[in-house]
Homo-oligomer: A and B are copies of this chain.
C-alpha cells in the first residue's frame, strides 16, 4: 500500500497520513502548489523546498501541447526537466479540455480539441492521457475524466459520470507497470446518489487513490462542503482522498475536517501575481496606498523568506513598479501560507486538537474593512 494512515481526529473526519511515491513520501493532509507548465510560476525549486512544499502539480494538457511529452521524456522526464526531485502529480487534461468548450468534442473514444496555442487539432483519449503521464514520469497520474457543467440536469450529470467511469476503467487497463500511482476521479455533479454510483464503480475497478472532481464550479460553498464530505465518506479509509482544484484557506480547513487528504489550487500563485496576499488575519491587497510607508512584514506571524526580509512598503513599491520580484516575493509568501497552514493542520490532527485549531483559525481573521477584504 502506498498510503499509510497515521492517526485520526476524534473530533472530525480528519486524518493524518503519508503517501509513498517514486520520488519520496508526502505527509498528508497536503496542499500541492500548481506548476502548470513545468514551473511553479515565479518560484525556484529550492524556494519551494525552503517553504516546505512536498509535492507539486503539473498540467498534462499544457505539457502535451508544449513542449510535448515525448520531448520531456527524451530529456529525462519531468523531474529532471524542471529540476524538481520531489513528487509530482499530473492531472489528466480533462478539465482543461472541458474548459475549451466549443473548441472540444467529446465522444466515447475520447476528446478531440483545438490547441489554444496554434489551433491545431489534437486528440486525447484515456489511453493517450495515461501514455502522456507515463512519458512525463509523474508520481501520481490522474484518469482522464469529462466534466459536468454547472448547473446540469440529472441526466446530463449521469451521462458524463458514466462516461468518466468507462474512461477510468480504460486508463487502469492502459497503465504500464512503471511504479507510478493512478488515481480515479469521483464525478457525479451535485447529485449525491450519482456520487455514490461513481465511487462504487471506481472502487470496483480499484485505484491507488481517489479524487473528488467537479466541485467548486459555481455551487454554493455549503453545498460544496456537503458534497465533499459525502464523497469522502464513500471512499476507503486506507486510501488517499484528493479534492481537486480547491481552494481558499477556509476551504482547506473545512476539507480536512471532512476527511480530505490532498488539495491543489492556483489561488495562492495567481493571487500573488495580482498582489493579493494571504495572512493569518485575512487577505491584504498590497497595492493599497496604506502600505506605502508600512515597514512591517506582510504578516508579522509569518516566517517565510519574504516576511523575514521585506516590508509591505517594499512589496508595494515592487508591485507599483511592475518589477519581476513582485510576483516572485508575493508567490513565495502565499505558497508558504498555504503549505504552512497544512503543516499546522497536520500537527493539530496529531495532537487531536483540530476543533480548537479551526476555531482559532476563524477567530484570527479580522473584519474585511481592516484587511481590504
Contact = CB atoms under 8 A, between A and B. Distances in A.
Interface string A66-96: 1100010011100001110000000000000
A67 B313 contact: yes
Nearest to A316: B67
A295 interface: yes
Interface string A314-325: 101110110111
B39 A323 contact: yes
Interface residues of A, number: 35
Interface string A8-43: 000000000000000000000000000001110111
B323 A41 contact: yes
Given A71-B313, A313-B71, A44 B325 contact: yes
Contact of A75 (B39, B311, B324): B311
A354 B323 CA distance: 38
A327 interface: yes
Given A42-B324, A324-B42, A313 B37 contact: no
Contacts of A76: 295
A328 interface: yes
A321 B83 contact: no
A150 interface: no
Contacts of A311: 75, 81
Contacts of A39: 318, 321, 323-325
B325 A42 contact: yes
A219 interface: no
A150 B311 CA distance: 43
Nearest to A62: B321
A74 B75 CA distance: 51
A362 interface: no
A43 B92 CA distance: 34
Contacts of A313: 67, 71, 75, 81
Interface in A238-292: 292
A309 interface: yes
B66 A293 contact: no
Contact of A74 (B82, B293, B327): B293
Contacts of A38: 314, 317
A310 interface: yes
A284 to B, nearest CB: 18
Given A293-B74, A314-B81, A324 B327 contact: yes
Contact of A317 (B37, B295, B320): B37
A75 B316 CA distance: 13
Nearest to A38: B317
Given A67-B292, A324-B324, 15 more contacts: A37-B321, A38-B314, A39-B325, A41-B324, A45-B309, A66-B321, A67-B313, A67-B317, A71-B292, A71-B313, A75-B311, A76-B295, A82-B314, A83-B314, A324-B327
Interface of A: 37-39, 41-45, 66-67, 71, 74-76, 81-83, 292-293, 295, 309-311, 313-314, 316-318, 320-321, 323-325, 327-328
For the complex of A and B, the 7 pairs showing the least CB-CB separation, nearest first, are A42-B324, A83-B309, A67-B317, A37-B321, A39-B325, A39-B323, A41-B324
